[in-house]
A and B are shown apart, each in its own frame.
Chain A
Amino acid sequence: DAMVIQNPRYQVTQFGKPVTLSCSQTLNHNVMYWYQQKSSQAPKLLFHYYDKDFNNEADTPDNFQSRRPNTSFCFLDIRSPGLGDAAMYLCATSRDTSGGAASWETQYFGPGTRLLVL
């Protein structure tokens, strides 16, 4: 089955120690998103890639970076995790043939990675 895969499902890191979360997809979608979801809050978009074009949300801290080496993979790097970065991180994909404005397209989500910062 075509799907969005996130590894690991649970990640524990130490305060200030860099951590990388990964996402892969078999849907061949050209858009990939990273969301942060804190407990009892809405998923918050951090950034997305339209093909290789990186689109950062204005309020995403510089501590968060992303890489997309190819269509299938996307990584979320947290350079110096703080206690406030503990959250569920959701990866999603969509197929956009409109040049980046296809806000009507369905997003397909992975199961998420829960990050714990000690």
Chain B
Amino acid sequence: AQSVTQLDSQVPVFEEAPVELRCNYSSSVSVYLFWYVQYPNQGLQLLLKYLSGSTLVKGINGFEAEFNKSQTSFHLRKPSVHISDTAEYFCAVSVVDNNDMRFGAGTRLTVKP
């Protein structure tokens, strides 16, 4: 079965600084990759997803992620964060022809003024 590892449980960063949240996956078959964000007291919301094609995926709120098959990674980046980006970020993987999504443990991004 597929699995996801988010390498950092917490990432503190100052406002307007760049940020990278790391995600590695494991699967023996082709995958689809997702980043979801969970703001305080809210449900998870899709930021972006990679299905096929260009390995650089752009999402909402200025986030982007790059699929790297050789390194089995799907790191999330933003060039300049805002206070409002403070949230929990989850990387997730699903495999082709199997409706079973696996989530990572999450990375808590805290943006400080």
Contacts and interface: CB of A to CB of B under 8 A. Distances in A.
Contacts of B101: 45, 103, 107
Interface in A97-118: 100-104, 106-112
B90 A42 contact: yes
Contacts of B97: 101, 103
A42 B104 contact: yes
Main secondary structure of the interface of B (DSSP, over half): strand
15 contacts: A40-B105, A42-B4, A42-B104, A42-B105, A45-B102, A90-B44, A92-B43, A92-B44, A103-B95, A103-B100, A104-B32, A104-B94, A108-B46, A109-B44, A111-B43
Nearest to A48: B99
B94 A103 contact: yes
B82 to A, nearest CB: 22
Interface residues of B, number: 27
Interface of B: 4, 9, 32, 34, 36, 41-46, 49, 51, 90, 94-106
Contacts of B34: 106
B25 to A, nearest CB: 13
Interface string A73-101: 00000000000000000101000100011
A106 B34 CA distance: 9
Given A42-B102, A42-B104, A103-B32, A112 B95 contact: no
Contacts, number: 66
A44 to B, nearest CB: 8
A104 B51 contact: yes
B31 to A, nearest CB: 9
Interface footprint category on A? 20 to 34
Given A107-B101, A109-B44, A110-B43, 11 more contacts: A6-B43, A40-B106, A42-B90, A42-B106, A43-B90, A90-B43, A90-B44, A101-B97, A104-B49, A109-B36, A109-B43
A40 B41 CA distance: 15
Contacts of A40: 9, 105-106
A109 B43 CA distance: 5
A31 interface: yes
A15 B90 CA distance: 31
